[in-house]
Chain A
């Protein structure tokens, strides 16, 4: 693990016995005489994969050798079948299958690695320039992968497979499916990489622009920007209209706004209440109790007339129609309000006096709507 993190391991870091065994088993190796021990590539790749290390940027784009091994194995298989050696044929087929699957897996793994690098925007290197370089590396890897995939010729593979069903399925159907999905994904990866590169360049351009501007201003203190906005054609960049919108007034006649307006009004009131200075108790004027002035309640004339009507009934001890009395006395109120007032006067009597009177309502039911009674006249008489 130390060797993985540091890249190499010093000679005296391990016990001689352990070191010898590790070298012998092919885990460590010495790249040149006198150099430190390094991890073998295979072990390193295993660790990178297991740890999902972002620095893992190795991509295997060697399609040609994979294809050659397919062909060789297919030829072995065919020969074994031809000779009737089914056991050997099965072994070759299994081996070939393993190779084809491994090929697809390697491709997918490469794409996964590319994606993970894109997704964190090459976050494992610090500076923008390094990111741009990383991006360029990734792009060259993508184009290598794509050109490697172009090498795969399905015609040649189909020819190799001949009419053997197992081989056809493995070499043509399976590979085609893998390749088409990989090619599709790779083109997306390429697009994203270009996009990212554009963005990195733009950011770098902006930084340089800012610094250049300041440098320019420092070197030419008397520099004034040219009159770009004064020409006949104003560039769109400087064509900025003046703000024209003033706050609108509210429409108090719009019933749909009523709830909002009420809420606003409540706020206004609350503010007023806060603004009002509170009066101290000491400042309040003296409160003295004195006798209330006597006052007279003037009866309204119509009520006086009603009282007179009641008296008339008592005096005559006969039932008198309210409208008849109205006509007889030529009262100046119209008939309807007179009737209302009489009913009101009757209802307003104290219970003890009310017992002595009877009020008959003369009228008819409403022809259309039940429960409504139209009063035409009233007759008051003594009970």
Chain B
């Protein structure tokens, strides 16, 4: 049998994000600094390193990054950056939809459970959410062409699972868990916000105050 270290290296080289939800053993292994260094030095031979996102004891997400850059690596990274930017708006809209449907303060974060049936019921009962879902599901990222809520929701969830934002621990049940990749997405938005000085949080606060007035 493969050791945890081998398993972690394999997952990282496959381009997976390791967080507490997707792979608890591997995540625990990487949380120990000594182990992380070992994996790091192994990946160094392949011009790769262990990269992390997130802060706090529970929030770390690990993935595999390049150590040095050449033209090929730049090309790959540029492509990935474009991909993630394309995913930003659809996924962000979906997150807001989920948050509104569940009437929660907090957006979905790693490890949060999401029941497809409950979400679907709420959306079906609320015409505004229904329209929102229709718009979200027609993004190229999700690629649904169906007019019914049922298939739209299922298509969106299926795509999100494929993209690694959600996992479905039990294939018999429609219960999904949010993964650390969502946290990665938040970090990307935050990074863009800070780098370009968009002041997104201030905008949102102003808007909510405007609604109150």
Interface residues of A (CB under 8 A from B): 126-128, 199, 203-217, 225-230, 234-245
Residue in B46, B89, B186, B195 whose beta carbon sits within 8 Å of that of A209 in the complex: B186
Please name all residues of chain B whose beta carbon is closer than 8 Å to the beta carbon of A208 when the two chains form the complex: 200-201, 204-205
Smallest distance from the beta carbon of A210 to chain B beta carbons, Å?
5
Interface 1/0 per residue, B96-138 and A, CB below 8 Å: 1001000001110100000000000000000000000000000
Q: Which of B34-42, B64-72, B155-163 contacts A (4 or more CB under 8 A)?
A: B64-72
Determine whether B140 belongs to the interface, using a CB cutoff of 8 Å to chain A. Answer: no
Asked if A226 and B107 sit within 8 Å, CB to CB, the answer is no
Report chain A residues within 8 Å CB of B93: 214
CA distance in complex: A242, B73 (Å): 8
- Output the residue of B66, B198, B201, B204 with the most chain A CB within 10 A: B204
**Are A213 and B189 closer than 8 Å at their CB atoms?**
yes
B interface list, Cβ under 8 A from A: 10, 13-15, 46, 48, 51, 53, 56, 63-66, 69, 73-74, 76-78, 80-81, 84-85, 88-89, 92-93, 95-96, 99, 105-107, 109, 184, 186-193, 195-196, 198-205, 207-208
Contact indicator A217/B89 (Cβ below 8 Å): yes
Task: Tell me what chain B mostly uses at the interface: helix, strand, loop, or mixed.
Answer: helix
Say whether B195 contacts A226, CB under 8 Å. yes
Question: With a CB–CB cut-off of 8 A, which chain A residues contact B186?
Answer: 206, 209-210
Inter-chain contact B10/A245, CB cutoff 8 Å: yes
Q: A205-B201, A207-B106 are contacts. A213–B13 as well, Cβ < 8 Å?
A: no
Partner of B200, one of A127, A203, A213, A239: A213
5 A-B pairs with least C-beta separation: A212-B200, A243-B15, A239-B65, A229-B81, A128-B105
Q: Is the CB of A209 within 8 A of B64?
A: no
A sample of 23 cross-chain residue pairs with beta-carbon separation below 8 angstroms, ordered by A number, consists of A128-B105, A204-B105, A210-B96, A210-B189, A211-B207, A211-B208, A212-B198, A212-B202, A213-B89, A213-B92, A225-B192, A226-B195, A229-B77, A234-B66, A234-B77, A237-B184, A237-B187, A237-B188, A241-B65, A241-B73, A243-B14, A245-B13, A245-B14
- B47 CB to closest chain A CB (Å) equals 8
Give Cα A212 to B201, complex, Å.
Answer: 6
